[in-house]
Amino acid sequence: MSKQTLRKAFLLGLGVTLLTKDVVEKEIKKFMREYKITEKDARMMSRRMLTKGKKYQADLLRTIKKTESEFRKELKKRV
């Protein structure tokens, strides 16, 4: 995998994070209306969701790097 491909994957992940933040905020507002929770509780819930999303993104990036490394090793064996 080239540096350019990794860069694109990172930027895609960043875009997904930003999109996710917007989606989370919309869902939190909807949740607030439906269940009449306080804004403080909604912010806490939002932070938790975004934190988990960032963790999943970091896990994905580690998986991509590991897969790339394994693939490079496999290619070296072929040469």
Q: What is the pLDDT of residues 18-53, one digit of tens each?
A: 666 777 778 788 888 888 888 888 888 878 877 887
Kindly report, residue by residue over 67-78, the tens digit of the pLDDT.
Answer: 888 888 988 888
Tokens of 27: 């869902």
| Cβ density class 40-61: b for 16+ within 10 Å, e for less | eebeebbeebeeebeeebeeee
Q: What is the predicted pLDDT for the residue at 10?
A: 61
For residues 67 and 73, what is the distance between their CA atoms, to the nearest angstrom? Answer: 10
pTM: 0.53
**Best-predicted range by mean pLDDT among 3-7, 37-41, 54-58?**
37-41
